[in-house]
Structure 1
Amino acid sequence: MRTDTASTAVVADRSIDETDALDVLGGNERGVVAAMESRALPDWIRRVHERTTWTTSA
């Protein structure tokens, strides 16, 4: 995920299959429609959200 100026990026070190807990879960609007076509991502968000300190979106 990159900032709007592309000067900063957040890069995942693990896949959603390797992650079951996070301190912060966040995202942005890029790729949302395509991501939601898969059941895996929404199911993972619901599961991980139970254990996050903050769940947010930009």
Structure 2
Amino acid sequence: MSAGELFSHLQSQNIYVRYFPKAERIKDYLRISVGQPQEMEQVLAIIRAFIKERKEAGR
């Protein structure tokens, strides 16, 4: 899974994070800033589900 794939998935879930695909040193990372603990739990649940789906699909 690439940072770009996760970035696109999060956007589709109306979660907006920072992605710098042209910055060589950080192109494989996302910057995530979350305000409240419950918001962080929601973001983590979405990321975990995305990773699980990818593993089950063999990607």
What is the TM-score with the length of structure 2 in the denominator?
Answer: 0.33
Bigger relative contact order (CA 8 A; separation at least 6): 1
Greater fraction of residues in helix: 2
